[in-house]
Chain A
Amino acid sequence: MSRPAHLGVRLALLALATVLVQTAALSQLSLLGATPDVAPLVVASVGLLAGALAGAVMGFGVGLLVDIALLQTLGITSLVYVIVGHWSGRIGESVRDPQTAALPLAAGALGTFVALTVFSLLQFLLGVEAPVSFELVRQIISTVLINTLLALPVHALVRRVLGGAVEDRRRRRRRARPGLSPLIQP
Chain B
Amino acid sequence: MYDRKTVRRRRAVLLLLVASSLILVTASFGDGLRSIERGALEVFGPIQEGASRVLEPFRDAAGWVGDTLDAKGELEDLRKERDELRRRLVAERGALEENKELRAQLKMNERLGFAKQGAVVARVYVRSPTVWYSTITIDKGSSDGVREGDPVVNGAGLVGIIRRVAGGSAQVLLITDGNWGVQARINESRRVAGIVQTAVGDPNDLRFEPSGSDDRVREGQTVVTAGSTSAKYPSRFPPDIPIGRVTRVDEDEGTVHVRPFADLRGLEYVEVLTEPDL
Contact = CB atoms under 8 A, between A and B. Distances in A.
A25 B59 contact: yes
Contacts of B13: 53, 56-57
A69 B48 contact: yes
Contacts of B155: none
B15 to A, nearest CB: 10
A108 interface: no
Contacts of B29: 73
Interface residues of B, number: 61
B171 interface: yes
B125 A24 contact: yes
Interface string A50-88: 001100110110011001111111111011001000100
Interface in B56-70: 56, 58-59, 62-63, 66
Interface residues of A, number: 53
A162 to B, nearest CB: 19
Interface string B114-157: 00000000000111111111010000000000000000000000
Looking at A28, A35, A53, the one whose CB has the most chain B CB atoms below 10 A away is A28
Contact of A74 (B24, B41, B197): B24
Interface in A17-61: 20-31, 35, 37, 52-53, 56-57, 59-60
Interface stretch (A1-9, A98-106, A130-138): A130-138
A71 B55 contact: no
Contacts of B41: 71
Contact of B17 (A20, A31, A73, A82): A82
B218 to A, nearest CB: 22
Given A63-B21, A70-B128, A119-B132, A21 B51 contact: yes
A120 B20 contact: no
B14 A131 contact: no
- The secondary-structure label for the interface of chain A is helix
Interface string B233-253: 000000000000000000000
A176 interface: yes
Interface string B190-232: 0000000111111011010000000000000000000000000
Contacts of B205: 133, 135
Interface in B21-40: 21-29, 33, 36-37, 40
Interface of B: 1, 9-10, 13-14, 17-18, 20-29, 33, 36-37, 40-41, 44, 47-49, 51-52, 54-56, 58-59, 62-63, 66, 125-133, 135, 163-164, 171, 178-179, 197-202, 204-205, 207, 265
Interface of A: 20-31, 35, 37, 52-53, 56-57, 59-60, 63-64, 67-76, 78-79, 82, 86, 93, 119-120, 123, 126, 128-137, 139, 176
